[in-house]
């Protein structure tokens, strides 16, 4: 290049950077138009990787074992005196215009809880167990052709767009005190390498899932003009890098890379080994792509082991630099009489061990991240 070309390029670059300052810094979310708070969150989440692992909980402020909607209450807080650092919420049934989600959480209450979490300086993540658009049945009832039916040209594409309009309506109502949008880590189509949901592995090709993911992100960004989201790509347990990336929609669509893992019948040692190994693979994939690794869901149903937190979970997590680990919901007694919870409550047999887990330097809860100002440019 000759000198005058150099000068012209430089001038253009300067002009571009003066109108798009955030984009000229190195680390930017996948959405080139992400709001300032979203960019700050993205960068601060990366910085926080060296500080420790934020511990999160689904539906934490809404209910716990034996209680519902008691202001300021949380099972995590009952046990530790502190809130989680990450709050997970669920949009399933918003697509039906329902006032409550599939777990009976009213959307108007959820909105207030999200605002509260944001004001505390915590991270907000949202999942969506949306119904099967082809059959009208639940997310867990796959039917051949569902994914194809919602893609452009498919018979349910208009219906799916209508559902996304409702998601967009909710996301657009998430505003902080100054009217700014509250950044959210949105993780659609989670556990996509399993086959229990209609978007799962046996019910569509890798290319169809990629198209579905991209369509969803593009629609929210470009048609609904939503720019306060970080997107999480989220499998279940996986064995290899190839398996993890088989359905990956592309770097322009993803900010957080995670997987879900639940301990079931395997012993502690097997669970620790698998968690440890899978996190190592995840970290190397996320590192190569400059994305944020996270344990997007975890749990050991009813935690039937009094030292599970420090002797099992922490043993699997301790050598890793991941952003957060989100425990699933403390539903309490289900309609059928069985108990569902993944965090201890006051009086639970793992309560004391959870306090020790809380005190570990590298587990981060509400008070640990409050002062980090993760939505500010000068955060941390
Ligand atoms: C599942 C269970 C269900 C719940 C669903 C969506 O893992 O907790 O009870 O309806 O998640 O939140």
Q: State if residue 93 touches ligand 1 by the CB under 6 angstroms criterion.
A: no
The answer to whether position 107 is within a domain reads: yes
Number of separate domains in the chain = 1
Ligand 1 pocket test: pick from 329, 337, 339 the residue with the most ligand atoms within 8 Å of its Cβ: 329
65: CA distance to ligand 1 center in Å? 15
Active-site entry in 112, 116, 180, 191: 191
Burial 93-115 (b: 16+ CB within 10 A, else e): bbbeeeeebbeebebeebbebbb
pTM score of the predicted model = 0.94
Q: Which residues form the domain of 189?
A: 52-370
Q: State if residue 329 touches ligand 1 by the CB under 6 angstroms criterion.
A: yes
Ligand 1 pocket test: pick from 87, 98, 102, 299 the residue with the most ligand atoms within 8 Å of its Cβ: 102
Q: Residue 226 maps to which CATH number?
A: 3.20.20.80
Per-residue pLDDT averaged across 273-290, rounded?
98
* Secondary structure (H, E, C), 189-211: CCCCCCCCCCCCHHHCCHHHHHH
The answer to whether position 22 is within a domain reads: no
Candidate from 11-15, 59-63, 305-309, 367-371 with smallest mean pLDDT: 11-15
Per-residue pLDDT averaged across 268-285, rounded?
98
The answer to whether position 287 is within a domain reads: yes
Does pLDDT of 8 surpass 80? no
Per-residue pLDDT averaged across 162-184, rounded?
98
The answer to whether position 23 is within a domain reads: no
116 has catalytic annotation: no
9: CA distance to ligand 1 center in Å? 54
The rounded distance, in Å, linking the Cα atoms of 36 and 230 is 12
Q: How many Å from the N-terminal Cα to the C-terminal Cα in the chain?
A: 42
The answer to whether position 340 is within a domain reads: yes
Quick: pLDDT tens for 132-149. 999 999 999 999 999 999
Token pair belonging to 254: 């993803």
Q: In the prediction, which pLDDT does 378 show?
A: 74
340 has catalytic annotation: no
The answer to whether position 39 is within a domain reads: no
Quick: pLDDT tens for 215-230. 999 999 999 999 999 9
The rounded distance, in Å, linking the Cα atoms of 103 and 167 is 17
The answer to whether position 17 is within a domain reads: no
Per-residue pLDDT averaged across 357-367, rounded?
98
Within 13 Å, how many C-alpha atoms sit on residue 129's CB side?
13
Q: In the prediction, which pLDDT does 212 show?
A: 98
Quick: pLDDT tens for 26-70. 589 999 999 999 999 999 999 999 999 999 999 999 999 999 999
Does pLDDT of 174 surpass 50? yes
């Amino acid at each position: 290049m000759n000198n005058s070309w150099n000068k012209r390029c430089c001038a253009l670059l300067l002009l571009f950077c003066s109108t798009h300052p955030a984009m000229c810094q190195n680390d930017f979310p996948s959405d080139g138009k992400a709001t300032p708070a979203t960019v700050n969150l993205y960068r601060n989440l990366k910085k926080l990787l060296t500080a420790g692992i934020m511990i999160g909980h689904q539906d934490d402020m809404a209910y716990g074992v034996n209680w519902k909607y008691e202001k300021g209450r949380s099972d995590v807080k009952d046990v530790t005196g502190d809130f989680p650092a990450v709050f997970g919420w669920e949009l399933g049934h918003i697509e039906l215009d329902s006032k409550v989600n599939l777990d009976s959480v009213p959307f108007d209450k959820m909105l207030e809880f999200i605002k509260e979490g944001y004001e505390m300086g915590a991270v907000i993540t949202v999942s969506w167990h949306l119904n099967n658009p082809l059959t009208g049945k639940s997310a867990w009832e796959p039917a051949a052709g569902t994914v194809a039916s919602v893609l452009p040209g498919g018979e349910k594409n208009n219906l799916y767009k209508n559902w996304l309009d409702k998601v967009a309506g909710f996301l657009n109502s998430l505003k902080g005190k100054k009217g700014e949008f509250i950044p959210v880590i949105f993780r659609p189509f989670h556990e996509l390498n399993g086959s229990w949901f209609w978007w799962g592995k046996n019910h569509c090709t890798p290319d169809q899932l990629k198209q579905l993911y991209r369509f969803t992100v593009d629609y929210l960004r470009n048609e609904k003009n939503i720019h306060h989201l970080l997107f999480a790509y989220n499998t279940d347990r996986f064995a290899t890098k190839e398996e993890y990336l088989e359905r990956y929609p592309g770097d322009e669509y993803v900010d957080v890379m995670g997987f879900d893992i639940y301990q079931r019948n395997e012993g502690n040692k097997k669970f620790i080994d698998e968690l440890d190994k899978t996190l190592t693979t995840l970290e190397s994939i996320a590192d190569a792509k400059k994305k944020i690794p996270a344990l997007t869901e975890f749990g050991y149903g009813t935690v039937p082991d009094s030292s599970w937190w420090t002797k099992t979970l922490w043993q699997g997590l301790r050598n890793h630099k991941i952003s957060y680990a989100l425990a699933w919901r403390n539903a309490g007694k289900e309609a059928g009489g069985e108990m569902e919870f993944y965090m201890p409550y006051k009086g639970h047999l793992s309560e004391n061990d959870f306090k020790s887990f809380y005190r570990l330097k590298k587990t981060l809860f509400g008070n640990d991240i409050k002062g980090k100002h993760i939505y500010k440019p000068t955060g941390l």
